[in-house]
């Protein structure tokens, strides 16, 4: 861990806490919008389905930039590329069927989950709360395989299928942010 006095956050821990809270808030708002407006309007659902991987791409760039850039954070650089590509493919898949969209989300969830897991393992020694991000990455990859299987079913999926996945993502980011906050409070109390 970086040099710090007991009871203080290092700059990176403070950044991660804020970053995780923002990711949790975005995902929560996305889920609410998906379940309230996205289920009523295909246009809103299409916009939300394109925004979700685009937001992930942007969030990875912002986090990597804050932590030394994309060149030093290869898993996030690759996640940015995958999420950006998947945004374009989701837009194309929306013109075919929701089954295609769910399959694309499945592929994306596998890749982004494994890349998130990789970033969390890399941060394990320097930052707290990474065990939650490791669980989240693994769950994302499993959910991706489930999405691909669901996409092959005759029933047409809806944005609600993706909303559950996004809701779990919000939960994991929130738990990580709270974990970092509680860890800081414990260090402060011990100081």
pLDDT digits (tens, 9 = 90+) for 5-24: 444 556 777 888 999 999 99
Mean pLDDT throughout 126-143?
Answer: 86
Please count the structural domains in the chain: 1
pLDDT digits (tens, 9 = 90+) for 161-187: 999 999 999 999 999 999 989 888 888
In a domain, 2, yes or no: no
In a domain, 151, yes or no: yes
pLDDT digits (tens, 9 = 90+) for 97-134: 999 999 999 999 999 999 888 888 888 777 766 888 89
SS3 per-residue string spanning the chain = CCCCCCCCCCHHHHHHHHHHHHHHHHHHHHHHHHHHHHCCCHHHHHHHHHHHHHHHHHHHHHHHHHCCCCCCCHHHHHHHHHHHHHHHHHHHHHCCCHHHHHHHHHHHHHHHHHHHHHHHHHHCCCCCCHHHHHHHHHHHHHHHHHHHHHHCCCCCCCHHHHHHHHHHHHHHHHHHHHHHHHHHHHHHHHC
* pLDDT score at 129: 67
In a domain, 6, yes or no: no
In a domain, 49, yes or no: yes
In which domain, by residue range, is 88 found?
A: 11-186
């Amino acid at each position: 861990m970086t040099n710090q006095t007991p009871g203080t956050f290092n700059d990176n821990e403070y950044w991660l806490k804020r970053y995780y809270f923002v990711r949790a808030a975005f995902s929560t708002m996305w889920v609410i919008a998906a379940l309230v407006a996205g289920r009523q309007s295909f246009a809103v659902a299409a916009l939300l389905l394109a925004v979700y991987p685009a937001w992930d791409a942007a969030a990875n760039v912002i986090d990597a930039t804050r932590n030394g850039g994309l060149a030093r954070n290869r898993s996030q650089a690759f996640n940015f590329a995958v999420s950006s590509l998947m945004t374009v493919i989701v837009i194309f898949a929306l013109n075919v069927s929701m089954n295609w969209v769910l399959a694309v989300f499945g592929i994306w969830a596998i890749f982004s989950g494994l890349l998130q897991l990789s970033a969390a393992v890399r941060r394990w020694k320097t930052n707290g709360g990474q065990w939650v991000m490791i669980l989240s990455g693994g769950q994302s990859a499993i959910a991706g395989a489930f999405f691909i299987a669901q996409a092959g079913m005759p029933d047409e999926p809806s944005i609600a299928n993706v909303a559950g996945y996004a809701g779990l993502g919000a939960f994991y980011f929130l738990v990580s942010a709270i974990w970092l906050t509680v860890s800081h409070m414990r260090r402060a109390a011990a100081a």
